[in-house]
Amino acid sequence: MNKFLKEFKDRGYFYQCTDDNELSNLLNKEKIKAYIGFDCTAESLHVGSLLQIMCLRLLQKNGHQPIVLLGGGTTRIGDPSGKDKTRKILSEKEIEKNSKNIEKILKKFLTSENNKTKPIFVNNYKWLKDLNYISFLRDIGKHFTINKMLTFDSVKLRLEREQSLSYMEFNYMILQAYDFLELNKKKNCSLQIGGSDQWGNIVNGVELIKRYSNKQVYGLTTPLITLASGAKMGKTADGAIWLDKKLLSSYDYWQFWRNTDDRDVIKFLKFFTDIEINEIENIKDNDINHLKILLANKTTAMLHGNKEALACEKIARETFSENSTGKNLPSFKINKEKIDIIDLILSTKLESSKSEIRRLIKGNAVKINNEVIKDDKFEIIKKELNESFVKLSIGKKRHLKINFN
């Protein structure tokens, strides 16, 4: 088996392939271009997109050239795959802003030193915006049958649930197939990679290219990731785990990985780090907390740099020390002369419910400067502080430095 495909499978990335034997033969013969698409529905990607990013890195590692397709055009429509209702349509200005920021984030993960593996960034708005509707129906639409389109999960599930599916969304799969055709014609792209929910759209692209150009191309999908707890990868009770530092601090990102369920640690070391598979096998029985720190450091270094990852580890060690003052913790600013403990916690958004905060206080889970707060009417008064900040702790894992300016 080809080296790229072998590691793709060994790491657990593999779900389906249109023809893995033929793809393996192609990869053994030549270096190819392969693409993954990212819709621009938010200003940042979150860790739910990280597996696709790791696939791009693996392509580079094996000498292939990744193409990153930013869906500036298709975002204007909305992908119905995995959705039970129509997505909110964004303005052109929002989509443009999102696409620029997502490109910036992706460049952190990919290397550009080697021209042969340097990522190619394209935006499908470039070719979709000027499509002639009549010509498109005649030249492209004739290759799609309604009968088959109705069998794809993205359509079938919505119809079975008697949920509306607009004609606009129905066309999404044709446009995604057309993206593959355009990239094959203009960039000689021969492989599309996506999540398993994209299988129908990817197969459409493979078949369209076969009918339109009589060329053989391939599709490869990754599994949708769920945590050992059954929850969906990418979000927590506190919100999405964003890849943009403006939306989520590097410390909170590090903590997300540090708090990985014991049952997921080895799987995530394979999924989300570049540590070689044989090395992971050699260390899999090591102390679980050491492995979690390794996972947190590797994933954070990939996004924010090694220096920042080690700084996050240092902050965490200090934070969980009973003698820690909280000086190096992520900070939150309060512009008040005094504030009660409930309003303080609400301001930080560590909790959003007053009744939940009272329950935490009653359970001795709230501390200021490592001292348990027992009174839900407790006030912090700026002029009575020895320092210009206090350390706020909720439970064992949530800590903030509160600056009083």
pLDDT in tens, 241-279: 999 999 988 998 999 999 899 999 999 999 999 999 999
Domain segments of the chain as ranges: 3-222, 249-319, 331-404
CATH number of 249-319: 1.10.240.10
Global pTM?
0.80
For residue 384, the cross-strand partners are none
pLDDT in tens, 341-383: 999 999 988 888 999 999 999 999 999 988 899 999 999 988 8
In 3D space, the residue among 259, 395, 268, 389 whose CA is nearest the CA of residue 334 turns out to be 389
Percent of the chain whose predicted confidence (pLDDT) is above 70: 92
- Give, in order, the Cα–Cα distances in Å from 173 to each of 80, 199, 284, 399: 9, 10, 41, 45
pLDDT in tens, 220-247: 999 999 888 887 776 655 578 999 999 9
- pLDDT surpassing 90 at residue 154: no
User: Do 331-404 and 3-222 fall under one CATH topology?
Assistant: no
CATH number of 3-222: 3.40.50.620
Residue 195 identity: G
Q: Is 66 helix (H, G, I), strand (E, B) or coil?
A: strand
CATH number of 331-404: 3.10.290.10
Calculate the CA dihedral of residues 359, 361, 365, 368 and round it to 10 degrees: 150
In 3D space, the residue among 3, 120, 17, 113 whose CA is nearest the CA of residue 65 turns out to be 120
The secondary structure of residue 372, as a DSSP letter, is: E
**Cα 313 from Cα 329, distance rounded (Å):** 11
**DSSP H or E stretch at residue 210:** helix 199-213
Residues 12 and 225 sit within 8 Å (Cβ to Cβ): no
